[in-house]
């Protein structure tokens, strides 16, 4: 059984569940493989469980309690205005008292005149146009931000963005596209890269090797790179998901598991046709993915118009498990490529393999499959070690790697049994995928860093994936600590402090240690909702103005605690939106960068208005105070002062608000 726990953890991949041994009580939600949680979605399989908690005792209930007990933080603008108003009140009262005392000492016996003078001074010193100017400025900002995909729920939040010094961003869907994409393939001893991102089949497959370019375009059909073709076909056939094209708005949608949809997309990028392949190789039986098996198996026959004397078993799953039941593999088929490949087969020149569309048909001499059993070689331990090394390299870059194999069985075989899974499978290859970063997020993060805003990633995903995405986006620049094999900072003042840590590490530190860690650490992985809230509080204690992004129920406490909470409008839950001050209608980090830029402009305009109106008001107050000191009658009456402040000063000063 697989469950989508993204609302609680933010992890984009469904989590496998099984009746495993009890886990530690302090383990994070993502590692509780024997638990299912309220509010999550079963995406695959079925199961029977025992209810262990209800209501407030559930994870969702715990988060609800955390939201209720988290006080709503006032924005920097409201805090500054409150402090400004308090200081201004004391100054005005002091001036009024001085004016009253001086007038009485000078022998003015008409108390009403003395009182009138003090009132006039008070009215003169108060910037009556400030509330109107503030409201107009913020309202203009709300309108501008709405056009840039940012909906403001609380008016002061407009300026709060401009004061932000730290942005704590979720990974999935905000910094990434939330669309699993195959990016690398390994088969026949050759590494391939896959271009394009998301569920759109636009892109191509290219050889990754340091050899001279044979021709400008090498397609699957031109040199019969059948290993690659077989790997792509197995990814399409051993698959329970579908890719749907919404033609009216030209959007490709995933129906099923995102990882399986990524396999379909990689096949389409090579020109393969999903419908044709499925009709050419109809499925007879399926062995669903099970956690204890670590693989999925499908049994296929060929269509009636094809004379092929075997049925085919396709196998997909964990690389180590796939290799354990494989006895053969396919060497490099294409001799011209093999002769030009260097021994180390590193990364290098790219050769496109998608110069024309390709579908299976009977006229193709390899229409049944990309390979034949006669081309298979024994899979030795040395070969397995080489494949595992490639797997480790892919996994270390944050990629999710799946292995593929196949086996020919007699035509009488119409059911998959356990004895079919012993040995004699032919290893086909690997496909690796990840949720790719948004292109616009990379430039947006760079702009934030250049503007002096720190960007930190807080995610429920695993550490390697978080580090990989953070490095691609530019959140961290790290070197490897060879002794402890952990990423450490290479350029900040706290050299040697981990630049990425997990929720397990956070639990081992006290609150005081956490305050020091958050100053230098930019990536936090496998973080629980309570830990995310603690991280935000620790950052705020150091005097930072914190903006937090989130979309799940688990993000709501941190969104409420933040100086400005930013929820996702497309994928965000209603709980997250209610706790946030701002909602992004496109779930894009680049929209935050635009909103911060607009917020800073609004803060500048408010500052300009205050610079204009305060000298005006205090000039009027000083005139009245001087008249009281020299004993003359009031030069200007309170009503006249109010008129000047509410009309002349406001109308002249409000032009500053409209500056871009």
Phi, psi at 547, each rounded to 5° = -110, 135
Task: Round to whole Å and give the CA distance between 110 and 184.
Answer: 91
Helix intervals (H) in 367-461 = 381-396, 439-450
Q: Which long-range contacts (CB under 8 A, 24 or more apart) does 79-83 make?
A: 81/134
Beta strands in 105-188 (DSSP E): 150-152, 166-169, 181-187
Cα pseudo-dihedral 106, 110, 111, 115, rounded to 10: -80
**182 within 8 A of 433, measured Cβ to Cβ:** yes
Degrees, nearest 5: CA angle 509-464-350: 155
Residue 37 exposed, middle or buried by CB count within 10 Å (0-12, 13-18, 19+): middle
User: Which SS3 state, helix, strand or coil, does residue 350 take?
Assistant: strand
Measured CA distances, 383 to 72, 328, 559, 602 (Å)? 59, 10, 50, 63
299 forms beta bridges with: 285, 313
Burial class (CB in 10 A: 0-12, 13-18, 19+), 381: exposed
Strands (E), 436-504: 454-458, 478-481, 486-489, 500-502
| 373 is known as an active-site residue | no
Provide the terminal-to-terminal Cα distance of the chain, rounded to the nearest Å: 55
Q: How many CB atoms lie within 10 A of CB 179?
A: 20
Residue partners of 633: CB distance under 8 A and separation at least 6 = 627
Q: Pick the catalytic residue: 170, 257, 551, 555?
A: 170
User: How far, in Å, are 541, 585, 614 from residue 91 at the CA level?
Assistant: 30, 45, 13
- Contact 566/584 with Cβ under 8 angstroms? yes
How far is Cα of residue 439 from the mean position of the Cα atoms in its chain? 12
Axis-axis angle for helices 129-147, 589-630 (nearest 10) = 170
Cα dihedral sign, 88-89-94-99: positive
Provide the annotated active-site residues: 170
């Amino acid at each position: 059984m697989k469950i989508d726990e993204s609302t609680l953890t933010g992890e984009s991949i469904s989590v496998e569940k099984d009746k495993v041994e009890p886990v530690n009580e302090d383990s994070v939600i993502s590692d509780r493989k024997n638990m299912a949680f309220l509010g999550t979605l079963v995406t695959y399989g079925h199961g029977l469980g025992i209810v262990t908690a209800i209501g407030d005792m559930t994870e969702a209930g715990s988060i609800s309690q955390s939201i209720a007990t988290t006080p709503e933080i006032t924005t920097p603008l409201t805090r500054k205005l409150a402090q400004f108003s308090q200081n201004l009140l004391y100054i005005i009262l002091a001036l009024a008292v001085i004016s009253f005392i001086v007038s009485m000492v000078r022998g003015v016996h008409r108390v009403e005149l003395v009182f009138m003078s003090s009132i006039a001074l008070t009215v003169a010193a108060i910037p009556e146009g400030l509330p109107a100017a503030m409201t107009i400025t913020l309202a203009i900002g709300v309108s501008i931000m709405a056009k840039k995909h940012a909906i403001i729920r609380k008016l002061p939040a407009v300026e709060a963005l401009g004061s932000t010094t730290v942005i704590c961003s979720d990974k999935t869907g905000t910094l990434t596209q939330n669309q699993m994409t195959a990016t690398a393939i390994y088969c026949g001893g050759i590494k391939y890269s896959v271009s394009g991102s998301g569920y759109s089949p636009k892109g191509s497959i290219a050889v990754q090797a340091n050899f001279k370019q044979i021709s400008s375009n090498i397609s699957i059909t031109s040199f019969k790179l059948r290993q690659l073709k077989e790997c792509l076909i197995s990814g399409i056939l051993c698959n329970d998901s579908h890719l749907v094209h919404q033609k009216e708005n030209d959007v490709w949608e995933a129906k099923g598991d995102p990882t399986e949809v990524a396999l379909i997309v990689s096949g389409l990028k090579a020109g393969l046709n999903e419908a044709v392949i499925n009709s050419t190789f109809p499925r007879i039986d399926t062995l669903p993915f099970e956690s204890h098996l670590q693989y999925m198996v499908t049994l296929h026959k060929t269509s009636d118009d094809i004379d092929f004397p075997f049925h085919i078993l396709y196998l997909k799953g964990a690389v180590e498990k796939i290799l354990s039941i494989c006895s053969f593999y396919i060497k490099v088929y294409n001799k011209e490529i093999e002769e030009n490949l260097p021994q180390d087969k590193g990364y290098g020149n790219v050769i496109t393999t998608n110069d024309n569309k390709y579908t299976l048909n009977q006229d193709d001499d390899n229409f049944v499959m990309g390979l034949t059993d006669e081309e298979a070689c024994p899979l030795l331990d040395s070969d397995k070690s080489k494949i595992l090394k490639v797997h480790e390299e892919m996994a270390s870059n944050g990629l999710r790697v799946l292995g593929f194999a196949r086996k020919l069985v007699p035509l009488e075989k119409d059911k998959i049994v356990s004895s079919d899974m012993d040995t004699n499978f032919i290893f086909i290859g690997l496909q690796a995928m990840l949720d790719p970063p948004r292109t616009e997020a990379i430039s947006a993060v760079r702009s934030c860093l250049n503007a002096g805003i720190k960007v930190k990633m807080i995610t429920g995903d695993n550490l390697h994936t978080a580090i990989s995405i953070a490095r691609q986006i530019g959140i961290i620049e790290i070197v490897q600590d060879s002794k402890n094999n952990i990423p450490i900072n290479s350029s900040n003042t706290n050299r040697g402090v981990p630049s990425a840590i997990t929720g397990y590490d956070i639990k081992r530190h006290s609150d005081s240690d956490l305050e020091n860690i958050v100053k230098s650490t930019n990536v936090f992985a496998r973080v629980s909702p309570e830990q995310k809230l603690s991280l935000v509080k620790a950052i705020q204690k150091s005097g930072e103005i914190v903006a937090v992004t989130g979309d799940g129920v688990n993000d709501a406490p941190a969104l409420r605690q933040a100086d400005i909470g930013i929820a996702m409008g497309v994928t965000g839950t209603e709980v997250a939106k209610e706790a946030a001050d701002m909602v992004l209608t496109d779930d894009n980090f680049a929209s935050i960068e635009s909103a911060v830029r607009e917020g800073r402009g609004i803060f500048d305009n408010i500052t300009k208005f205050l610079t204009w109106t305060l000298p005006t008001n205090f000039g009027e107050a000083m005139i009245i105070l001087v008249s009281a000191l020299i004993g003359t009658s009031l030069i200007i009456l309170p009503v006249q002062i109010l008129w000047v402040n509410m009309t002349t000063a406001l109308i002249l000063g409000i032009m500053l608000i409209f500056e871009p």
